[in-house]
Structure 1
């Protein structure tokens, strides 16, 4: 069974959605199909993960399910700040993977982490442009050209905070036409032709090679994000949650992440 993806509403999880996720959660008993993992890990594990992890974690989820028959992985992908808020408001989840330590810190400060988060990957910004780079954008300073339409993430989102650090390092003042609540939103504006460029992660442009190109710029080195992961205190399936976190940090998990353009921690 492929890993199942649940997209988060940015306004938060409604009571109905929370109840649905709770119903999907399972303890360490038999899976719905009655099969049992050879490792003793069974049931459903619900993972709240940063939007930039969508492709990599979907693949890792499938691999994890194959390694643990009887386990189902359900994902909730959104901006890390939105996910942290949902967790702190009681949304049912077993694992949280954030695109920045700041958002993870809000979860640990609220007492909702089971143990200390571990950094499992790092990510770096690029400029996403339409295929072929029609506006000939070659540097971060080019984004300030008159008439150029640029998208970036909102400041509270990890990709937005990273963009601010990179722009400050380059001494570039940028007036975006839109501030998105997660990096996939910023990328979609380029893919749809609504903007000329967007500041996104390297991994996002690699995930959409048919639609966009990624322009590297040196100031991105001043804005590399660490990605932490942790089992949550109220995890309904603690055994599967711990096994999933272990798999993400294992050689097979790391191979998927580095192939997607993430850097090792």
Structure 2
């Protein structure tokens, strides 16, 4: 008389236990970590080498990442992508590399220093940076070739310099810059300091310096857009946190910071 109710009750308990297990991890989502969320493995310090044009946005992303992952610290080194790639290939202790062009990233990957496939996370294009108010009335690349206009460019081995050369060639404009700089921030500073009348810089850099400069758009920039790839490095000392930072850059909060800075979606 008691056997059937006992079996029924036992079956009910087993069924509830199975349902509980399915609810905990059956869909596979709760077992994985959402990008940017805290994890016990995500702790300690990482070093990120990033293109100079990422200075403001990555500095903010570093602070946001640290806030989302207590116990972490992100240390940055910002410079021209070509110089950073050379340092990585010479053995600099780095966890993450974010380049302003695919060519410099390729140099790192070809040397066997990447851990996995780089991901393009944003794009950027050039504008002509001029002093506030555009006193020389520069309206396009042709105006930069006028004999009384002093121009700063990035060196051609730097992504902003290669993009500038591509745009100038497309426009058929030949000019002799008064200075060639090793990163885009240095070229922009020449305008801010009044040492040149114009410089070809990224749109994002002109935006961050909007109090001092204006950015003049020109059509040839659309044919000289740079992709920005990011990758965890093979010899990263803190791979879990490095990977978590890359995931954060690719997450919705990360993309929001980058978009607000003027970067384009890839």
TM-score scaled by length of structure 1: 0.86
Consecutive unaligned residues in structure 2, runs of 5 or more = 1-36
Mapped partners of 1:248, 1:234: distance in 2: 20
Q: In structure 2, what is the equivalent of residue 168 of structure 1?
A: 169
Shift >6 Å, 4+ stretches: none
Other-structure match for 1:57: 58
User: What does the per-residue CA deviation read over 1:84-128, in whole Å, with 9 as the maximum and x for residues that have no partner?
Assistant: 000000000000000000000000000000001000000000000
Query: Measured at CA, do residues 80 and 129 of structure 1 come closer, stay the same or move farther in structure 2, by a change above 3 Å?
Result: same
> In structure 2, what is the equivalent of residue 76 of structure 1?
77
For residue 119 of structure 1, give the secondary structure of its aligned residue in structure 2.
strand
Instruction: Establish whether residue 243 from structure 1 lines up as the match of residue 244 from structure 2.
Output: yes
**Aligned residue for 1:39?**
39
Q: Which residue of 1 aligns with 2:109?
A: 108
What CA distance in whole angstroms lies between the structure 1 residues aligned with 2:175 and 2:116?
A: 39
Q: Which residue is equivalent to 1:32?
A: none
Greater share of helix: 2
Q: CA deviation at 1:79?
A: 0.2
Relative to the length of structure 2, the TM-score reads 0.85
C-alpha distance in structure 1 between counterparts of 2:196 and 2:204, whole Å: 19
Aligned to 1:11: none
How many positions carry a matched residue from both structures?
229
Alpha-carbon shift at residue 174 of structure 1 (Å)? 1.4
Deviation at 1:38, TM superposition (A): 4.2
Q: Does 1:123 align with 2:124?
A: yes
Q: Deviations over 1:54-102 (max 9, x none)?
A: 0000000000001000000000000000000000000000000000000
Max Rg structure: 2
Show structure 1 runs of 5+ residues with no match.
1-36
Please provide the CA RMSD for this pair: 0.8
